[in-house]
Structure 1
């Protein structure tokens, strides 16, 4: 008699446990990568882009705070190519890239996104850099803890990571003075 009562309960508990072990990544359940990422937003809303229908690729499932202190969700960048510009406020190479990066951000506004990811210093220095270089027309994250840098495995400043509209990395490296950035973005938006 006891076995009849315990066995169905044990089977039900096992079925519930196994149901949670799948690898399906849907907007309603959230993926394991979203939950384990140190900068993941963790909300099911992040699985859909701010543009409405584009699915948010894994690369854009992170949040942060801008140098201006505003919350930022990278999911809003989904559906278009994205230029991630990793810079430090004291870096002369980064300063040399600023004008070209700002030009590309303006030229491809609405077709591609540019996001500065500042690190290796304090937020006050980051704000000063943005003001001094004329790059305030696109958002910059204050990544003092280096979480976004780690996410993209960036180990040095003055680095670009370019993602296509599906969130796949198509370029990662240094572009001295930003030279070649416009051509790379044009190839993704053309």
Structure 2
């Protein structure tokens, strides 16, 4: 019985997700959208042991939104608490999405330009891990971590319902932007405003 009640919800989510990849209206919401905060990390950071709270890698207090773990597309453990204390860009993408592919170069550039000042983390979903790894290789976005979110847990945490979305958090883990940014245009300026 449970499968019968879940199937319509899963299908509805899939339709919304696919529709999001085709439309590129460039509209995003500014300000605090009320979505949970997100995560990001540089590849050099090692995961923080899970002790249920406390401080992140920078000694900053960890907001509830960054108290979760995941795995990267390369199978490494990832602890979002390592993101506390710095602005974070979460880039939600799918391997088959042309808008996501178009955002890849600018997202990688922002990750490199703001390394050490802000985090950029890809959150891959809506496909299998093998396709996610291939996308990272093909788009040359391996300079920052990508989470393999096959089950959609991180997407749900941040209330993301379609791929090709950015969720940008300030240093305190509050969402300050959520939207599309076609081709990644404007991403650098948004991060620059947070790092001062």
Q: TM-score range with shorter-chain normalisation?
A: 0.7 to 0.9
Distance 1:112 1:68, change over 3 A: same
Q: Deviations over 1:127-175 (max 9, x none)?
A: 0000000100000000000000000000000000000000000000110
| Structure 2 unaligned spans of 5+ | 1-47
Report the count of equivalent residues: 149
In 1, Cα distance between the equivalents of 2:121 and 2:93? 11
The offset of 1:48, in angstroms, is 1.2
Question: TM-score, normalized by length of structure 2?
Answer: 0.74
The correspondence for 1:144, drawn from 138, 141, 150, is 150
Question: TM-score, normalized by length of structure 1?
Answer: 0.76
In 2, Cα distance between the equivalents of 1:177 and 1:111? 22
Moved over 4 A (4+): none
Q: Which has the higher helix share?
A: 1
Quote the RMSD (CA, aligned, Å).
Answer: 1.4
The offset of 1:46, in angstroms, is 4.0
The offset of 1:47, in angstroms, is 2.5
In 2, Cα distance between the equivalents of 1:47 and 1:125? 35
- Alignment match, 1:67: 73
| Structure 1 unaligned spans of 5+ | 1-40
Q: Relative contact order: is structure 1 or structure 2 higher (C-alpha 8 Å, sep ≥ 6)?
A: 2
Q: Deviations over 1:106-133 (max 9, x none)?
A: 0000000000000000000000000000
